[in-house]
Amino acid sequence: MSSYEMLVDEIVSLMGMKGSYAGIEKLESMRREGDTNATTCLGELYLEGAGVIADTEMGISLLQEASEAGNPHADDTLGRVYLYGSYGVPEDKPRGHAYIEKAANAGIPESIGTCACDYYYGKGVTKDLEKGFEWALRGAKLGDPVSNALCGDAYQTGEGATRNIPLAIQHYREHLKSNSENTDVMCDLAICLADIGGEYGTFPSQDDLTEAFGLLGKAVEMGDVRAHCLLGIMYGDGNGVPQDFELSHHYIELAANNGFEPAQELLGRFRRTMRGKWTL
C-alpha cells in the first residue's frame, strides 16, 4: 500500500470516528507543511463533496497544486477528470492523457493501465497498438487488471502483439482474479479455452472445455448476451458438452432477441426437422 493510500485510509477512519471536520483539519494542517498527498486527498474531497461542500474549482486547483509539486496521484485524478469530463469539467482527452502518462511514468499501476488503453484505442493520443501493448505489459507485471485484460486482447487478436492463445488465457485469468464480475473477459477467456468457432486450431483439453462452459454459465446468469450466444454455439457444435440443437437455438435466440447481431445471423441458419426439432 502506498503512502497516499495509507493516508486516505487514515482520513476515512478519522472522519468516521470524529467527524468530517477532524479529517479536513488534519489534511489542511499537513498541506500547510507541504504534504502533497494531503493536498491531493483534499482536492478529491472537494470534487466529491465528501466532508466539505462540493467545489469543483477548488478541487481542481488543489490537485493542480499537488501535480505541480510532483504528486503522481494528483496527476492520475486530474487525468481521469479531463479524460471523462467528470464533475462538470469539459472533456479534454489530450490534456487528460498527458496527466495520465505523467502518472504512468511515475509507476502508478492504474495510470499505466489507462495509458495503455489510451494508446491502444487512440483516446486523447494517436492510436499506437504496439505502444499500448508495451504499456499494458508494464501494468500487468504490477498486477493491474486493466493491463491484464488488454494484454489478453492483444494476444488473442494478434493486434499489437503476435497472437499467442496460451498467453491470452494467462492474462485473462489474472484479470479475473481481481475483477471476477467482468463478463466481457469471461467470454473472451471462454473463446480462447474452448476455441469456440474453431479460429485458433487448438485442441482444448476437457478441463479447458469445462472451465469455458462454467465461465459462460456464470456470464449468462449475469445477463451477458454474448455469453448466451457463445453457450449456444458450444451446444450446437457439441464442444465440451453433448450436442443439443434445442438448447443451442434457445440460447442463440435469447441473444438475438436482445439485439446481439452475430446471434441474429446465426439464428437464420436453424431449420426445423420433420418432427419439429431444431437442427443446423
Same domain, residue pair 242 and 261: yes
SS3 272: strand
CB 8 within 8 A of CB 41: yes
Distance CA 257, CA 220 (A): 14
Q: How far is CA 261 from CA 67, 184, 250, in A?
A: 45, 16, 16
Residue 169 lies inside a defined structural domain of this protein: no
Residue 262's nearest CA partner among 234, 225, 235, 236 is 225
Residue 82 lies inside a defined structural domain of this protein: yes
Q: What is the pLDDT of residues 148-177, one digit of tens each?
A: 999 999 999 999 999 999 999 999 999 999
Show Cβ contacts of residue 88 under 8 Å, excluding neighbours closer than 6 positions.
56
CB 143 within 8 A of CB 178: yes
Question: What pLDDT is recorded for position 24?
Answer: 94
Question: Among the three residues 90, 106, 122, which one is the final residue of a domain in this structure?
Answer: 106
Question: Among the three residues 74, 106, 138, which one is the final residue of a domain in this structure?
Answer: 106
Same domain, residue pair 100 and 125: no
Residue 59's nearest CA partner among 79, 73, 76, 39 is 39
Same domain, residue pair 95 and 53: yes
Residue 170 lies inside a defined structural domain of this protein: no
Residue 275 lies inside a defined structural domain of this protein: yes
Provide the domain count of the chain.
3
Q: Alpha helices, DSSP H only, in the chain?
A: 3-18, 20-32, 36-48, 56-68, 72-84, 93-105, 109-121, 129-141, 145-157, 165-178, 183-194, 206-221, 225-237, 245-257, 261-267
> What range does the domain containing 102 cover?
1-106
Same domain, residue pair 87 and 2: yes
- pTM value is 0.90
CA angle (271, 272, 273) in 5-degree steps: 120
Same domain, residue pair 97 and 135: no
CATH number for 226: 1.25.40.10
Same domain, residue pair 199 and 226: yes
Same domain, residue pair 129 and 42: no
Residue 276 has pLDDT above 80, yes or no: no
Three cell numbers, residue 23: 479529517
CB 59 within 8 A of CB 47: yes
Amino acid present at 212: A
Residue 87 banded pLDDT, cuts 50, 70, 90: very high
Residue 174 lies inside a defined structural domain of this protein: no
Same domain, residue pair 32 and 96: yes
Same domain, residue pair 102 and 21: yes
Same domain, residue pair 11 and 75: yes
Least confident of 16-30, 64-78, 134-148, 181-195: 16-30
Same domain, residue pair 254 and 242: yes
